[in-house]
Chain A
Amino acid sequence: MTTPEIRVQGLHKSFGDNHVLRGIDLEIAQGEVVCVIGPSGSGKSTLLRCVNLLEEPTEGQVFVGGTEVTDPDVDIDAVRRRIGMVFQQFNLFPHLSVTENLTLPQRRVLRRDKAAAERVAAENLARVGLAEKAGAYPSALSGGQQQRVAIARALAMGPEVMLFDEPTSALDPELVGDVLAVMRSLAREGMTMMVVTHEMSFAREVADRVVFMDGGVIVEQGRPEQVIGAPRHERTRHFLSRILDPAMAEVEEGVADQGGTG
């Protein structure tokens, strides 16, 4: 492994008094798939959003593909073209058809001509299994289909890295599988991926590494079978027991739920 594709150094992020990230160091190698897990409010989404500077870090540095994203003089638009981002709420452009959702960014940002943009769009729609929806509008698609279009839209820009922010959390359970299948094939093709997720089976099967975050720090990380299968830390064990078998969780006194961020 040479230079890491993503390098996060001493990252802090505060929203007012709320110190969300308290010193994160993380390296992700080229082609590596890293799943970030942890309770809500642990800062995992904020970490992801700091990588493409949707959130401005309070302190620390982020490098993507050797370029410092946090450098005040960097051309952030140029850096973001190399980073694909997939959101929990899909964020497709509702006034554009599926194909236009994929072609408009290519044409406006990458200055591709119409024919080239449409070719790339068709390729990527086929890649996520939605070639037949090319002319549809987002409102006519199911949540799972919208999310696959969102993935295709990011891929059409030819990114080196893909960031996924809880991509299946807003989906009906029966639609989760299609989205995960697309992500799995993407991982197999060697894409560098950073995935914030609650899908433990996906993390176990696809991730090269699982990072467990809690309270704004990385508590432990390692191979998925180790972090999910045999966690070393009490906090990790506690989180996993609740997420893997929510029905078995007991009412706690004064711990997670009353904290508000639990």
Chain B
Amino acid sequence: MADTDTGIQPKRTGLTRTQKRRLSRGAQYAVLAAAVIAFALTADWGRLQNQFAQPGIAKQLFPDLITVALKNTVLYTLSGFVVGLALGMVIALMRLSSVGPYRWLAGIYIEIFRGLPALLIFIFVGVGVPLAFPTVQYPGGTYGKVAVALGLVSAAYMAETIRAGIQAVPKGQMEAARSLGFSPARAMVSIILPQAFRIILPPLTNELVLLFKDSSLVLFLGVTLEQRELSKFGNDLASQTANSTPILVAGLCYLLITIPLSLVVRRMETKALREIR
């Protein structure tokens, strides 16, 4: 009963609810301000600028930063995404197949490739496979190698996303298509998949963001100067100049792509929510 506490329970403090809230918020701001001030006072600003933000070194990075490194990062990522999407599509359909062995194979693939570090798969594709099968040539050389490695990693995640998207399409859609005379395959292609892809566009874009970052693993494959992407490029120039500015600049290049993509995802999600209502 709400009224009883005035009579039975003594008031512990003399503060009203508004006062308590103000006190709590004030304490949180005080901690934050103290931390910022402590950092500003203790940091050696001159040295930090010298190490991370030397305009001279940053200028040296151009134009290769854009024409080689950023271009290659985008190329590796997109080719890996295409391979992953195609493979993920096949695995998702296998996962939903009425044929048992297909389902098991797809399940095993997904569990293995989601459970392994991406780096291990890069080494396997880049070093293990060429050693084991000396006659095998990746189409497109290093580009093909990276596309396969990134594709293998992302396919496992995308397969699960695509499967979830297909299953999120209401059962009545398939029934309506079948009762109009669509074959199962044709109903899947014309009716179910277009709706499923609309549903999974945000998570797929998220996967693209993850791939942008994973493309940095090319660092561990031997690549020529012309094949370097952002991380390798930044790392190389950092050691050449004995300065961290290239790392910072390379990092900004990633953010230049990933932050707008994330904003697009967020916009798509709110739009999708509004449509469902």
Interface residues of A, Cβ cutoff 8 Å to B: 52, 54, 77-78, 80-81, 83-85, 87, 89, 91-95, 104-105, 108-110, 139, 150, 153-154, 157
Contact = CB atoms under 8 A, between A and B. Distances in A.
B181 A93 contact: no
B175 interface: yes
Nearest to A150: B176
Contacts of A110: 181
Contacts of B176: 85, 87, 91-93, 150
A93 B179 contact: no
Contact of A83 (B173, B179, B183, B195): B179
Contacts of B222: none
B180 A54 contact: no
A82 to B, nearest CB: 9
Listed residue (A87, A91, A94, A153) with the most chain B CB atoms within 10 angstroms of its CB: A91
A52 B175 CA distance: 11
Nearest to B195: A95
Contact of B186 (A52, A54, A108): A108
A109 B181 contact: yes
B181 A81 contact: yes
A77 B181 CA distance: 4
5 contacts: A54-B175, A54-B178, A81-B181, A84-B179, A93-B195
Interface in B191-209: 191, 194-195, 198
A153 B191 CA distance: 14
10 A-B pairs closest in CB distance: A91-B176, A81-B181, A85-B179, A91-B172, A109-B181, A105-B180, A80-B181, A77-B181, A95-B194, A89-B172
Nearest to A153: B180
Interface in B132-174: 170, 172-173
A154 B175 CA distance: 13
B109 to A, nearest CB: 29
B182 interface: yes
Nearest to A80: B181
A105 B175 contact: no
B44 interface: no
Contacts of B191: 93
A92 B172 CA distance: 9
A139 B275 contact: yes
A251 B183 CA distance: 48
Nearest to B174: A91
Contacts of B186: 108-109
Interface residues of B, number: 19
A252 B71 CA distance: 76
A78 B172 contact: no
B275 to A, nearest CB: 7
Given A77-B182, A81-B180, A87-B176, 17 more contacts: A52-B179, A54-B175, A77-B183, A80-B179, A80-B180, A80-B181, A87-B172, A87-B175, A91-B173, A92-B176, A93-B195, A105-B177, A109-B186, A110-B181, A150-B176, A153-B180, A157-B181
B190 interface: yes
B182 A93 contact: no
A225 B142 CA distance: 80
Nearest to A105: B180
Nearest to B277: A139
B178 A157 contact: no
A91 B182 CA distance: 14
A95 B196 CA distance: 10
Contacts of B183: 77
A95 B177 CA distance: 13
Interface string B230-271: 000000000000000000000000000000000000000000
Contacts of A150: 176
A110 B173 CA distance: 19
B178 A93 contact: no
Contacts of A78: 181
- Taking each of B172, B178, B180, which has the highest tally of chain A beta carbons within 10 Å of its own beta carbon? B180
Contacts of A93: 173, 176-177, 191, 195
Contacts of A81: 180-181
B181 A91 contact: no
A83 B177 CA distance: 12
Contacts of A85: 176, 179-180
Given A95-B195, A108-B190, A139-B275, A80 B178 contact: yes
Nearest to A157: B180
B165 to A, nearest CB: 13
Most chain-B CB neighbours within 10 Å: which of A83, A105, A139, A154? A105
Nearest to A163: B179
Contacts of B198: 95
B115 to A, nearest CB: 35
B52 to A, nearest CB: 49
Contact of B182 (A92, A105, A154): A105
A78 B181 CA distance: 6
A106 to B, nearest CB: 9
